[in-house]
Structure 1
Amino acid sequence: MSMLQIGILGVAGVLLALQFKSGKSEYGIYISIALGMLIFASLLGKISLLKDVLNEVSNVVGLNSDYFKTLWKILGITYAAEFSSAICKDAGYQTIALQIEVFAKITILVLSLPVLSALLQTIRGFLV
């Protein structure tokens, strides 16, 4: 889907969800979850293309593929955390949304520690 189609789909979904706001407000949340999943599904093709290009660049430059695996994990965690946190906020559960965000940040920090360690070792090698 193009950006214009995604934008139209998003606005139409919001307008539809607003129709249910006065009566059955939980339907609005269901609509936002379904739209979010649909938009993510349409994004998968572009993510796959990006992953292929980055893997090719990694092979040409000779970088360790573990760093790119870590990068993809971090991107996945970020998207999942943002998506679930936004849904919790829309439903009125800001405390749970905040806990999801904190958990994601700590998980990303833990995942990035080996990369930070390798960077520090490289810098140390330059200084010695």
Structure 2
Amino acid sequence: MSLFWKAAAAVLLAVVLGLSLGKQKDIGVLLTMAVCCMVAMIAISYLEPVLDFLRELETLGDLQGDMLGILLKAVGIGLVSEIAGLVCTDAGNGSLGKTLQMLGSAVILYLSLPIFTAMLELIREILREL
């Protein structure tokens, strides 16, 4: 948990530094990107035990391995597109940020097609048995 506090302190320090830079917005954007990358790496270290737990559930529940992979990719794409979109907005490029978030949503929907297809097949199976 100490990593969390260090990351929170780094984020707050980056905010203060960004505000003190004033007109040097380019350096502020680079600072923001660097701190975002650092926080993302810390978040990944916290998520590793969660991934191990999900893999164990996958094994115990005899789940299809590709479904878990799809879900993890979707979460990753969602987080990256959201953070990158916010950085674009902070840099004064809000339209690029929104476009990136829209692209992330479209990719997540595309990745989710096998899950939707499997659910549709399950519904068809249930309806046939009725």
TM-score range, shorter chain: over 0.9
Alpha-carbon distance between aligned partners in 2 of 1:60 and 1:69, rounded to the nearest angstrom: 16
Task: Indicate yes or no: 2:57 matched with 1:32.
Answer: no
What does 1:1-128 correspond to in 2, within 5 Å?
A: 1-20=2-21, 22-128=22-128
Question: What displacement does 1:37 show?
Answer: 0.6
CA deviations 1:56-102 (Å, max 9, x no partner) are 01111111111000011101111110111011000111111111011
Instruction: Give the length in aligned residue pairs.
Output: 127
Alpha-carbon distance between aligned partners in 2 of 1:96 and 1:23, rounded to the nearest angstrom: 22
What is the root-mean-square deviation of aligned Cα atoms in Å?
1.1
Alpha-carbon distance between aligned partners in 1 of 2:120 and 2:96, rounded to the nearest angstrom: 35
SS at match of 2:63: coil
Structure 1 segments unaligned to the other structure (5+ residues): none
**Please, what TM-score do these two structures have when normalized by structure 2?**
0.92
Structure 2 segments unaligned to the other structure (5+ residues): none
Q: For the Cα contact (< 8 Å) 2:3–2:42, is it kept in 1?
A: no
CA deviations 1:12-71 (Å, max 9, x no partner) are 110011111x23111111111010011111122222211111000111111111100001
Q: Which runs of 4+ in 1 moved over 3 A?
A: none
Aligned identity (percent) is 24
Alpha-carbon distance between aligned partners in 2 of 1:104 and 1:98, rounded to the nearest angstrom: 10
Alpha-carbon distance between aligned partners in 1 of 2:119 and 2:23, rounded to the nearest angstrom: 55
**Please, what TM-score do these two structures have when normalized by structure 1?**
0.93
